Structure 1
Amino acid sequence: MRISDALYGEYMLEDVLSALIESKEIQRLKDVHMAGAAYLVDSCWNETRYEHSVGVMLLIRRLGGSLEEQIAGLLHDVSHTAFSHLIDFVMKNTKEDFHEEIKEQQLKESTIPAILAEYGYDYTTLLLNDDQWSILEQSAPDICADRIDYTLREIHRYFDVPLTEIHGFIKAMEIIDGKIVLTELFWGEWFVDQYKKIVIDFFYAPLNVYSCEIVGKMLAHSLKTGVVTESDLHETDTFLWQKMTISKDRQLHAWAKQLRAKISFAFVDEDSMYDLHQQKKVRYVDPLIEYQGDVISVSKLSQSAAEQITQMIEQGEKGIYLSYRIEEIVDN
């Protein structure tokens, strides 16, 4: 299989990667959106787990990662439920790791073990401990292929950051002692700034927060009343949305109608009257920089980066408080 990606270029893949990409489990991710229900309120917010998973695989490949680590990268999100992290919101899972909790069981029941076995791999060795793959995963605030890919993909799509800049950043990455390190301070500051756009300007965009609130209520209600089952969560976004909206449940229809309404939002303080408060997992990065023969965190070299990191942490700990008003109900 030959595959092409705007961020990382074109590659000819090994048979095992091709077989995994063609599996029903990876193909399902084409209809599992990274931002949960946000695409229902803004069609531009349409990045999928499939794009991200393939991207992580290709970034690991570009950085010289082994075929085994590329396989782990491709499959790292395969257990995500429909609407991605929305299930964490419903279950009040503040670690946002429900997909990790169910990963072993989901893999065991999938076609993945048989595909890997055909090529001489044991899924339990490759896929049940991503911590063994240092390019794929690193504990925050270090950068890794997972964090880098969704950041680059989303700033290009949602904030119009040009590919020339993104390609410049990609060229500035190297591997030192198993970790991704940037060759210039400029790119460390650049990435902190771009990551801040994602965790504050996108994750906490009022309409994005609102879509999570409304569809989260729909999903919780649907699970409680039996409109959807736990097994339905492992289908696609379209399947789950249709199952909720074609039901005869009046409350679900009311929420769906509210989701389509024209809304005006206002940011408010926690001490003020607010209609919703949402707090997501605290996310921030502090990339490593190769500097004068040493490897140093960007925050130790750049005051501006340190200040932006502090802002990300504070925003994550506080969450967002919104008031909103329905301006117009859209019937269709």
Structure 2
Amino acid sequence: MNCGLQFTLHPGFSSYGPYSRYEHSVGVACIIWYFTHDKKQTLAGLFHDISTRAFSHVIDFVRKDYLVQESTEDNTRQFILQDSVIMNQLLCDGISLDEVSDYHVYPIADNDSPRLSADRLEYTLENLLNYRKCTIEEIEKYYKDLTVGVSEDGKQEIMFQNPDIAEEFAFGALSCGMIYSCDFDRYGMEKLAEILRKGLKDKTLTESDLYLSEIEVVNKLSHSDLCNTWDEYTRLYDVAKDPSGDIMVNAKKRYIDPYACKHGGVTTFSAAFKNAVNEFKNIDYQYLMKGIYRNG
């Protein structure tokens, strides 16, 4: 989930706890089951990242899809279809492939940003812990206040009961969003994307290699003509704005505007949060950056 940035020397990303797509997917499934007790929705949530490649959203950077970041989900249906164990179990359960291959059709599992969904809820709560912005007691407070209601457009949505807790969570999610699009995150992901592009171009890596574990891909890079380039990446410590820099890259700005029962989205009743979101959305990333490297 940290998109390969944990292999750098950045004091933050190199110290965050391990957090895999598998853990995220199981967490999403557990949240959906908790709120719906619907097997089809739960399985759709469990499978939603089944086609994610090594280094996660770095692949979006490889494909220049960093503003949308959906290219990692392009083979979900095919991955389920080619797995005989999953397909046999779906047959036993009387569930069709179409009912579990697209979690976007279930608003509890996923919905349009910036609404709250099981997917956004899981990685936000996990990262609030990983980034040391919340204690487990605070995470539990958020989770216990959640319920399923119907928003103004008539769709089901995970929402908070207490507007004050909703606002607190929203600010926490925004602080995570700032990390997801900070200078180091954008620079580091583009640097790693450059390495992967070179590896794919010179046949050091194949597309199928990207479905190996990250450690296996790292091992291939470390024992190839790209070993020095990979070593340099692992010594990346920080970045600085610099007109002589080598990378300028935009970002997908992630934030959540959760709904509070009888109050609406947090931006509708919290001027402070609305202003913070607008400031975040107005950040301009059109500047060059240069890497700062240290010895390991």
Q: Normalised by the size of structure 2, how large is the TM-score?
A: 0.88
Change in 2 beyond 3 A, CA 1:264/1:179? closer
User: Hey, what does 2:62 align to over in structure 1?
Assistant: 90
CA deviations 1:180-207 (Å, max 9, x no partner) are 121111122112211111111x213444
Q: Which structure 1 residue ranges, 4+ long, deviate > 6 Å from structure 2?
A: none
- How far apart are 1:266 and its partner, in Å? 2.6
CA deviations 1:16-39 (Å, max 9, x no partner) are xxxxxxxxxxxxxxxxxx121112
Tell whether the 8 Å contact from 1:258 to 1:329 is kept in structure 2 after alignment: no
1:171 aligns to 2:144 (yes or no): yes
User: Hey, what does 1:13 align to over in structure 2?
Assistant: none
1:137-286 map, 5 Å: 137-177=110-150, 178-200=156-178, 202-247=179-224, 249=225, 252-261=226-235, 263-267=237-241, 272-286=243-257
User: Structure 2: which 5+ residue stretches go unaligned?
Assistant: 9-13, 151-155
User: Hey, what does 2:34 align to over in structure 1?
Assistant: 62
What is the alpha-carbon distance in structure 2 between the residues aligned to residue 286 and residue 267 of structure 1? 30
What is the alpha-carbon distance in structure 2 between the residues aligned to residue 235 and residue 70 of structure 1? 25
Of 237, 250, 274, 1:306 maps to: 274
Aligned length: 284
Higher strand share: 1
Tell whether the 8 Å contact from 2:187 to 2:289 is kept in structure 1 after alignment: no
- How far apart are 1:211 and its partner, in Å? 3.0
**Secondary structure of 1:286's partner?**
coil
User: Hey, what does 2:105 align to over in structure 1?
Assistant: 132
What is the alpha-carbon distance in structure 2 between the residues aligned to residue 320 and residue 232 of structure 1? 33
**Secondary structure of 2:198's partner?**
helix
User: Hey, what does 2:153 align to over in structure 1?
Assistant: none
Tell whether the 8 Å contact from 2:133 to 2:172 is kept in structure 1 after alignment: no
What is the alpha-carbon distance in structure 1 between the residues aligned to residue 33 and residue 286 of structure 2? 36
| One-letter code aligned to 2:260 | I
| One-letter code aligned to 1:314 | N
Q: CA RMSD in A?
A: 2.1
CA deviations 1:223-258 (Å, max 9, x no partner) are 0011111111222211211112212x1xx1221121
Q: Return 82-91 or 190-199, whichever deviates more.
A: 190-199
| One-letter code aligned to 1:119 | D
User: Structure 1: which 5+ residue stretches go unaligned?
Assistant: 1-33
